[in-house]
């Protein structure tokens, strides 16, 4: 089958690899119908997330069940499904404690042997372990594009809002208008905040954030971010902030932009250590939550998509075939065109 393989650090190519087979009774083989490119793929390609090259990339998907193992009871060939970027067993100690992102038997799709050795979704087929735990059926009235982002960036953005303990009427600052930050904007609207203030450098992505529900946008390269936030919050500071970038500067600003008793939710992936302003955190009685997205929300999020409360299809700025995916990476990484997400079909 065709697949995009990370051959070496900074090097990847589209080639032929062996089609996955049922390896365990709980497995399912999925024929890909839609996938996409994620910032995490770039982190892997360039070594910001360490891995051993030689695997298929990609972790977001929609597909059709091709075959199932003997223990799979809830799915059959022909079912349309999606699933989490990081499959989990549901039974180990970490899963039972709610930490499914740290499943001792799972891993992350398309992230190498260090992350469970699960082949990626930028391919024609994929094997999903613990299929009854991980696969989620897609309602007939929803398209592939409507649910493409549920298993990763939407779940992560929703987790960021939950961890920020957002309440009706609150002022929220979101640092980063990338795919996760924009998903956080959409998720925040579900909680009826008084303000959603979006901060970024990219005018195209900021305008997309405004269309998706941000009440205010701030260009960090043209405005004094903390001063503007102060003005918008009557100098009290925001009630909550979400850091969806993964840079020391944005983390530090997220801490400084909230007021007394503020909450800071961190979902950006950091490639380096960060200087933490502990005196300010302590004296302002701040609460900080951070970590990977909780992928157990998928069924709830699909229901909200089905009822029209969530629509992420505007994030898709490009559509292309798997044969053209290397061109897609060039566009996505270097932003040679205004881009947010690229939908890729086999």
Torsion angles phi and psi, residue 151, rounded to 5: -80, 0
Confidence category of residue 107, pLDDT binned at 50, 70, 90: very high
pLDDT for 140 beyond 90: yes
Distance from C-alpha of 281 to C-alpha of 101, rounded to nearest angstrom: 27
Give the pLDDT score at 190: 98
Tokens 């699933």 identify what position?
A: 83
Distance from C-alpha of 25 to C-alpha of 49, rounded to nearest angstrom: 31
> Given phi > 0 = left and psi -120 to 50 = alpha, else beta, which region is 308?
left
Please answer whether residues 335 and 203 qualify as being in contact, where contact means their C-beta atoms are separated by less than 8 angstroms.
Answer: no
Q: pLDDT for 215-255, tens place per residue?
A: 999 999 999 999 999 999 999 999 999 999 999 999 999 99
Confidence category of residue 162, pLDDT binned at 50, 70, 90: very high
What does the angle CA 119 – CA 122 – CA 126 come to, to the nearest 5 degrees? Answer: 45
Give the sign of the dihedral formed by CA 88, CA 93, CA 98, CA 102.
Answer: negative
Nearest C-alpha neighbor of 162 from the set 265, 258, 305, 310: 265
CATH topology assigned to domain 2-149+312-345: Quinone Oxidoreductase; Chain A, domain 1 (3.90.180)
pTM (2 d.p.): 0.96
Give the pLDDT score at 271: 81
- Domain boundaries, given as residue ranges, for the chain: 2-149+312-345, 154-290
Please answer whether residues 217 and 198 qualify as being in contact, where contact means their C-beta atoms are separated by less than 8 angstroms.
Answer: yes
Q: Residues with Cβ < 8 Å from 324, sequence gap 6 or more?
A: none
Please answer whether residues 163 and 264 qualify as being in contact, where contact means their C-beta atoms are separated by less than 8 angstroms.
Answer: no
Question: Percent of the chain beyond pLDDT 70?
Answer: 100
| Over residues 192-197, mean pLDDT | 98
Query: Tokens representing 341?
Result: 């997400």
Query: Tokens representing 257?
Result: 């932009």
| Over residues 319-344, mean pLDDT | 97
Q: 341 pairs with which residues across the strands? A: 316
pLDDT for 272 beyond 90: no
The conformation of residue 322, written as its DSSP 8-state character, comes to: G
Distance from C-alpha of 150 to C-alpha of 51, rounded to nearest angstrom: 25
Nearest C-alpha neighbor of 65 from the set 20, 107, 103, 108: 20
| Over residues 93-101, mean pLDDT | 96
Nearest C-alpha neighbor of 169 from the set 133, 195, 134: 195
CATH topology assigned to domain 154-290: Rossmann fold (3.40.50)
CA atoms within 13 A on the CB side of 273: 1
Q: pLDDT for 21-63, tens place per residue?
A: 999 999 999 999 999 999 999 999 999 899 999 999 999 999 9
Per-residue burial over 46-76, b if 16 or more Cβ lie within 10 Å, else e, is eeebebebebbbbbbbbbebbbbbeebeebe
Query: Tokens representing 23?
Result: 């390896």
């Amino acid at each position: 089958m065709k697949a995009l393989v990370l051959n070496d650090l900074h090097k990847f190519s589209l080639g032929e690899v062996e089609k996955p087979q049922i390896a365990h009774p709980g497995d399912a083989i999925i024929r890909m119908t839609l996938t996409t490119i994620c910032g995490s793929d770039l982190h892997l390609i360039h070594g910001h997330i360490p891995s051993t090259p030689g695997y298929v990339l990609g972790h977001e998907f929609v597909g059709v069940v091709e075959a199932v193992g003997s223990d799979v009871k809830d799915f059959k060939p022909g079912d349309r499904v999606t699933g989490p970027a990081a499959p989990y067993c549901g039974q180990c100690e970490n899963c039972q404690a709610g930490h499914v992102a740290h499943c001792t038997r799972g891993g992350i799709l398309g992230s190498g042997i260090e992350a469970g050795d699960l082949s990626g979704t930028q391919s024609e087929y994929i094997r999903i372990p613990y299929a009854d735990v991980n696969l989620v059926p897609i309602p007939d009235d929803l398209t592939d594009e409507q649910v493409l982002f549920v298993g990763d960036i939407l779940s992560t953005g929703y987790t960021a809002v939950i961890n920020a303990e957002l309440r009706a009427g609150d002022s929220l600052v979101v640092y980063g208008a990338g795919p996760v930050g924009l998903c956080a904007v959409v998720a925040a609207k579900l909680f009826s905040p008084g303000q959603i203030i979006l901060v970024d450098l990219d005018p195209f992505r900021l305008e997309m954030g405004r269309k998706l529900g941000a009440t205010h946008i701030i260009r960090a390269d043209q405005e004094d971010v903390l001063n503007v936030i102060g003005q918008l919050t009557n100098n009290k500071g925001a009630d909550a902030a979400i850091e969806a970038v993964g840079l020391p500067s944005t983390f530090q600003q997220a801490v400084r932009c909230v007021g007394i008793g503020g909450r800071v939710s961190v979902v950006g992936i950091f490639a380096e250590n960060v200087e933490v302003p502990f005196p300010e955190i302590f004296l302002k009685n701040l609460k900080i939550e951070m970590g990977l997205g909780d992928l157990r929300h998928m069924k709830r999020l699909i229901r909200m998509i089905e009822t029209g409360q969530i629509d992420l299809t505007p994030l898709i700025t490009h559509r292309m075939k798997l044969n053209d995916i290397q061109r897609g990476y060039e566009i996505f990484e270097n932003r040679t065109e205004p881009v947010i997400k690229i939908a890729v079909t086999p």
